Amino acid sequence: MNADARELAAGFDIEKLTPEFYADPYPTYRALREHEPVKRMPNGSWFLTRYDDLVSAYKSTRQFSSDKRREFFPKYGDSPLYEHHTTSLVFNDPPAHTRVRRLIMGALSPRAIAGMEPDLIALVDRLIDALAVKANVDLIDDFAAAIPIEVIGNLLEVPQDERGPLRDWSLAILGALEPVISPEVFARGNKAVTDFLAYLEVLVARRRAKPGNGERDVLTRLIQGEDNGERLTEKELLHNCIFLLNAGHETTTNLIGNGLVALSGNPAQKRRLIEHPDLIKPAVEEILRFESSNQLGNRMTLETVELSGVTLPAGTSVTLCIGAANRDPQQFSDPETLDIARTPNRHLAFATGAHQCAGMALARLEGAIAISRFLARFPDYALNGAPVRGGRARFRGFLRVPCAVG
């Protein structure tokens, strides 16, 4: 077994992933953690799998950069995808990152998020009512994916009849972040950025002419900026609206879908949560750890650094494997087991440090309300077909999950 693990670690290449890896990456992650926790890829980048190494990379903005201009130009060239991914909040360093994050966090204040809860409950209940009368239910299309699209649509006050393309735009843009992409995926991603920007230019012009309530309407808040006069540029504004949709859509869809599938596969934990609904908050944290929605992050070294005894020179591209770190036995006891009451649970699903997810409080709220109310209404739900994975390494989720709720 140990020899097999060594072989699995030795043969791993982020640019040549197998169907077996997409189905279940955790044996590979375990082998890498044990035998090559800082592994050099054939393309010259390095792949990190240990919890402590990821924390080091996340927390030191002096040693590790999130700026992707150098890394993404060979992949995207001078394209809409390049402009988007090098302008949005997640792929920038301080001080630009700090300024943009402060404006976005102001729009996602605890007060603002608390004010969303009644509408979120009403939305989830409407979706659940619709599920109850459907003969064939898909947990993703009919439930998990519908929630964040509506939430972000409400945050930006996108008219209901204009929300149709949002999910497809998001999937196309995020799909182009995979380690290797085809010309078709590249073209789809570029078209999605172009179409989304064109739509947002119209939406922003309308909002400038008729501002909304800055306490609830995130777009109005971002347009108006801070009281001290700090504003986003037009380019920053448009691309960070795309970022808000992308960051809030795919990962939250995966949190809800992964959670309901994981609970279905762990009936004792499912029953425990049904009998003790007050465990929903630690349950959401455990789902985030056990099946992290976002599995991979990226950094570049700014100076020579040492991780797990390996020296990386300045200018090295590094992949941070969140999915592996969140199952590191040095940090989590019995990490391959789903335990909805696990505490402490300092997982890295939302990263940590300066780039910790700006929308994590909203994602947690969406996950808790969606999963708890679904379980309360459909305690006997069961999968009635094989779930279909999304086929992506960076974002781990499902495309389809056939389900019986009766």
Residue 396: give the domain boundaries.
Answer: 2-404
Residue 72 has pLDDT above 60, yes or no: yes
pLDDT of 113 higher than 90: no
pLDDT of residue 146: 95
Torsion sign across C-alpha atoms 307, 312, 315, 317: negative
Question: What pTM, to 2 d.p., does this model score?
Answer: 0.93
Q: What is the pLDDT of residue 127?
A: 98
By three-state DSSP, how is residue 365 classified?
helix
Beta bridge partners of 298: 319
For tokens 């900026």, what's the residue? 225
| Predicted pLDDT at 226 | 65
pLDDT digits (tens, 9 = 90+) for 191-218: 999 999 999 999 999 999 999 887 778 8
CATH number at residue 306: 1.10.630.10
CA dist 279 to 110, 147, 340, Å? 22, 22, 7
- Residues 2-48 have pLDDT tens digits of 779 999 999 999 999 999 999 999 999 999 999 999 999 999 999 99
Cis peptide bond upstream of 95, omega within 30: yes
Per-residue pLDDT band for 170 (boundaries 50, 70, 90) equals very high
Q: In whole numbers, what is the pLDDT of the chain averaged over residues?
A: 93
Q: Can you spell out the DSSP letters for 1-14?
A: -HHHHHHHHHT--T
Residues 237 and 361: their CA atoms lie apart, in Å, by 22
Total domain count for the chain? 1
First to last CA, the chain: 43
Residues comprising the chain, all counted: 406
